[in-house]
Structure 1
Amino acid sequence: MNSLRCVPLIVAVLITLPSANAGEKAPDAKQTVVLQRVPVPGTDREMGMGIAEFPPNAVKPKHKATGPEVAYVLEGEVTVQVEGRPAQVVHAGESYRMPANVVHVTSAGPAGAKVLATWAWVPGKPFNIRARN
């Protein structure tokens, strides 16, 4: 009988314990693995193609690309948040495009994501530039 009196106390303690995830920062997205780069004839630009992998709930912090991008979600889903616009959730089998110099945040869903990305850039210059918060 005395053990039953402890149940409310145990429940109260468990409820008040901080969550293991509380206050934790979302993991960063992994570096994009470049699969191929080819020159664009008659320009100073190069086309690139790569795979971006996002662990579950990973975030690629606020940034902008110096060239246009087109991305196709192979697995999972990503949310693309462009400043001043509603968030866009892109699922496996769907694609999105991002014009050059548009500040945005890309984050993965709870299952993570794998994205095939293509882009145009000027070799030797930075492509992704972190934006200020």
Structure 2
Amino acid sequence: MNKIKNSLAMTLVLTVLTTLIICDSALGQQPGIKRTELQRYDLSHPGWEAIQVRIDFAPGTSFARHKHPGEEMIYVLEGTLEYQVEGKPPVKLKAGETLFIPAGTIHSARNVGSGNGAELATYIVEKGKPLVDLVK
């Protein structure tokens, strides 16, 4: 009986991990978008983590409307990126400029420059939840 329980538990864990890897890979493989996770650490507040990701946008590409299970802080590394944050007019940011997106706020990003666009995104999110939730 214990072997069956252990086997079922292991199958569940592997299924969840595989799903997370596939979802994260699919987001990173959007045409013209490259996501590179730089660091991920548990915070002193239980159940929360900080994640830093570099996101590169080829000219003319965009990241579809989405939201996060926590706050996002953006620092534009290169190029010109336009952000559409729900309830606000679009904002264009150049290298060195920043943007804060509150938890659960629907937003999108688009490279409006002629060259590569890149941002450093820092997320303060609930651990174990999908980092990105795509929205129609």
TM-score by length of 2: 0.72
The equivalent of 2:88 in structure 1 is 85
- Greater per-residue helix proportion: 2
Q: Deviations over 1:17-55 (max 9, x none)?
A: xxxxxxxxxx74524211111111132101011110000
Cα distance in 1 between the residues matched to 2:31 and 2:125: 23
Letter in 2 for 1:130: L
Runs of 4+ in 1 over 4 A off after TM superposition: none
Residue 125 of structure 2 corresponds to residue 117 of structure 1: no
Tell me the CA shift for residue 81 of structure 1: 0.5
Contact 1:29 1:60 in 2 (8 A): no
Tell me the CA shift for residue 90 of structure 1: 0.7
Letter in 2 for 1:117: A
The equivalent of 1:95 in structure 2 is 98
The equivalent of 2:24 in structure 1 is none
Gaps of 5+ in 2: 1-29
Percent identity, aligned pairs only, is 30
Max Rg structure: 1
Cα distance in 2 between the residues matched to 1:123 and 1:107: 27
Contact 1:63 1:128 in 2 (8 A): yes
The equivalent of 2:133 in structure 1 is 129
Contact 1:72 1:117 in 2 (8 A): yes
* RMSD of aligned Cα (Å): 1.5
Matches within 5 A, 1:1-133: 28-109=31-112, 110-132=114-136
Tell me the CA shift for residue 70 of structure 1: 0.5
Q: SS at 1:86's partner residue? A: coil
The equivalent of 2:23 in structure 1 is none
Contact 1:60 1:107 in 2 (8 A): yes
How many residues were matched structurally? 106
Going from structure 1 to structure 2, the CA distance change for 1:86 and 1:64 (only over 3 Å counts) comes to: same
Cα distance in 1 between the residues matched to 2:32 and 2:105: 19
Cα distance in 2 between the residues matched to 1:100 and 1:58: 24
